[in-house]
Structure 1
């Protein structure tokens, strides 16, 4: 790690340039109020401390022991590669942090800002992470952090480096903020296009060029008639299999005709469109979860989709699998490729996915199976549900956890154009989505480029190439030697004082 350094710089360890911090046991003052900075309080993207937890001394977590001061650098020793690193702001001075955080307090040898920049470098993180011990709870010791070598410039040069890095960082933050504004704009663009699509605005010219297309209502009549015919055939076959031959047609009255949509209060549709309930789009079902305490139900060859696997697109990564025994001993059923899945529970309500391989689902997913005899293309319904996600989530409010049911989904109204117009709309929407996804990828790459740029600037700074050296600066070796002597003298005086007090006590 160590290499040649500019004039006036020196290699040293982190432990040589930081002061010791104090510890306390808050339980000794049970009624006193404390704020506690744990690892979860640190944002590893902005390197800032979010909300610190408040508690009384009597309720203190067992790890809340270390006292912090303003400008201390907090370095998480648990999974250090996650870079949970932050400086303590003024308002948290005197509060507590975890024993899982190494508190780095700058001495007179190192500028606080330079200390912070030293430990956020990728080179430093890699070196510390190499000391991790344990796989279930990978962590390093404070001693591992303090033993790390760092290049130390003269104090004045440290300050010039920090000033320059902060200047460049401000530009990077502005660029990052501009990038972060793009995804919400893209989503608003998507929603605007979708709203126009389902009002019929995007295909107004298409309808003018194709005035003789059969209305969707006529197709719906034929599909309803065909579904009734298939039901009657199936029911008649069941009765004959039991040796029962109906004497008249009264049994046909058991068929439940789909309820038409009351369009009152709904937007007016273009000529040739019709409202349907989504239950008429095809066969809907939900899945199930095998008993978790039976190991051999899991880890088989049947993909098992949960709502966390839904990403508003093709389902390409499925975390868990089931065995045939798991399927047979639960309500989970294997759905074919092309099945549209809709999340029904919690924060994921309305999340969507399309199966690209046979897979089962849990009970939190509603599944619309492929059906050639459907009045609506599944991808058309996919985009309509995507556009209506906000409304579905509002309908799911009211309980401890927001939920929607399969019955609610099946009863939800959807506008259906003729099949040819559906395909035209889908072509426009797929083009829009491909463009939006490409832009999102560009934004993601730009974010990564900014991260890479910052690390490149840090590397340049710690090679002594970011700011000019000043021969008038006191060399770091001279300053460090003076601090060592001062520490040694203080330690000697402390020991002498302890002996004197011990003699008095006797």
Structure 2
């Protein structure tokens, strides 16, 4: 990339990196003011604003607050802080003596900033208010910024939570993979656009007003997403109760008997056992007592055990495979989503491991996959041209070739009828698990092949409408996030307030330009150092 192609902020980062590497240490010297050369590489600000270092307007990672050992204080572990919203839970409290060592301390008015991956990238940042007794302690993976009295904490929060700030911070992380952190020195030495204090407050007020309107729209979009999920489940429920094809059945005169289909499947399983030299596994059919406890089906349908209509039910590799940087895909439960494989985060194994694992568990096009550890019960089928193996947290279901339409069973396994069985069949230890026994014993519905095709068509006709609506919702959510970042960009360029709003803040008694404000900040910090 040519220098002329870079934005001013990017040129600032390039020049800064060329001259300095950031230390992992929490200790750093207080920054000197920005030089003329550095200022030239930063975007222009309004007349009465000023670029300063973060550490010039705030104390970075200040000493822990003191108090009586028995004092009750707020406790904020990392999960208590939401991503990007700035919201956090104050439901936990501790005694000060319990957390003084081994945790990060902060007080009301501080801004906390997650420094470790992936929490930093996800935007775990918050401006702290309403702490119990004004004090809080929390994760050691927070940086703390304590703004001086001439900087509005919420103004600082909105600057730090921006995507552009976090993206640049990610490029400057240090440490090993999985333990990457934003160094204290980097956090302290970032340029900060200091505005007059009344203008800071007016900007925050305008941001919050615009964000409130934006959040209402986002909430409505997310509600629509939830309603679509409910609708999909309602469609699947009606489909496998026979409601969607009721009229279709009434119009049929020569539907094949489902018992004949089951005989074909049984014969196929017997032939496969003979060819392999293995003894055919005996499967007990459902008893009358078991059938009476199940949902009543149309006369042409039948309840069977999943095992009765499958050629194989197994799971992935139990022994931890040797992983490599590249090679063949190794999937786990996190990759199984309802209706599709999510390949955003995958592991790899070498060819010899791939061949070894596939010898027992060989996923092929159309086979059904079930997440069976952690988030149990997500269902998808194996797509075309897929080469992968799996770990134990994924189950593989090979439906008999006589049934031909695996989508019928993929949808059925996603339906409330089967999901309730899966929920009952899972075992909770350290995390939920669904083992092969309960999977094999799942009670599934079988009907004639023509009706299976009709049911799938009815489902997919309705789901195609849902898919289009969901695409529109996702697009609008992306637009909303882009608008949020655009608002923040304008805010810190001094372009968010209109002329009338600017005239009002400049007319307040305590308005003073950033240059004067900075001198006040320096005097305040010097006074605090003498104490």
**Under a length normalisation based on structure 1, what TM-score does the superposition of the two structures give?**
0.81
Is the CA contact (8 Å cut-off) linking 2:84 and 2:161 kept in structure 1? no
Is the CA contact (8 Å cut-off) linking 1:336 and 1:359 kept in structure 2? no
Match of 1:170 in 2: 212
2:142 matches 1:113: no
Is the CA contact (8 Å cut-off) linking 2:113 and 2:142 kept in structure 1? yes
The correspondence for 2:298, drawn from 260, 270, 280, is 270
Match of 1:124 in 2: 165
Q: Deviations over 1:218-243 (max 9, x none)?
A: 33344445655x379659xx69xxxx
Unaligned runs of 5+ in 1: 240-251, 496-506
User: Once the 2 structures are TM-superposed, how far is the Cα of residue 362 of structure 1 from its aligned partner?
Assistant: 3.3
Which protein is bigger by CA-based radius of gyration?
Answer: 1
**Under a length normalisation based on structure 2, what TM-score does the superposition of the two structures give?**
0.77
The correspondence for 1:393, drawn from 423, 438, 441, is 423
Which region of structure 1 is more displaced relative to structure 2, 201-210 or 361-370? 361-370
2:193 matches 1:148: no
Cα distance change of structure 1 residues 302 and 479 upon mapping to structure 2, 3 Å threshold = closer
Q: Deviations over 1:76-111 (max 9, x none)?
A: 333444432101121242122455433222323222
Match of 2:334 in 1: 308
2:504 matches 1:474: no
Distance 2:207 2:458 in 1: 46
Which region of structure 1 is more displaced relative to structure 2, 145-154 or 193-202? 145-154
User: Once the 2 structures are TM-superposed, how far is the Cα of residue 20 of structure 1 from its aligned partner?
Assistant: 6.7
Match of 2:407 in 1: 379
Cα distance change of structure 1 residues 77 and 273 upon mapping to structure 2, 3 Å threshold = closer
2:241 matches 1:194: no
Summarize the alignment of residues 417-436 of structure 1 with structure 2, pairs less than 5 Å apart: 417-436=447-466
2:76 matches 1:37: yes
User: Once the 2 structures are TM-superposed, how far is the Cα of residue 42 of structure 1 from its aligned partner?
Assistant: 2.2
Summarize the alignment of residues 202-217 of structure 1 with structure 2, pairs less than 5 Å apart: 202-217=244-259
Unaligned runs of 5+ in 2: 1-8, 10-41
Distance 2:296 2:121 in 1: 56
Describe the SS at the equivalent of 2:155. Answer: helix
Cα distance change of structure 1 residues 325 and 103 upon mapping to structure 2, 3 Å threshold = closer
Q: Deviations over 1:324-344 (max 9, x none)?
A: 357548984323322212233
Q: Give the aligned CA root-mean-square deviation in angstroms.
A: 3.5
User: Once the 2 structures are TM-superposed, how far is the Cα of residue 389 of structure 1 from its aligned partner?
Assistant: 1.5
The correspondence for 1:459, drawn from 489, 492, 504, is 489
User: Once the 2 structures are TM-superposed, how far is the Cα of residue 40 of structure 1 from its aligned partner?
Assistant: 4.1
- How many residue pairs get aligned? The number is 472
Match of 1:369 in 2: 398
Describe the SS at the equivalent of 1:267. Answer: coil
Q: Deviations over 1:315-358 (max 9, x none)?
A: 36353335435754898432332221223334323544425435
Cα distance change of structure 1 residues 117 and 290 upon mapping to structure 2, 3 Å threshold = closer
Describe the SS at the equivalent of 2:370. Answer: strand
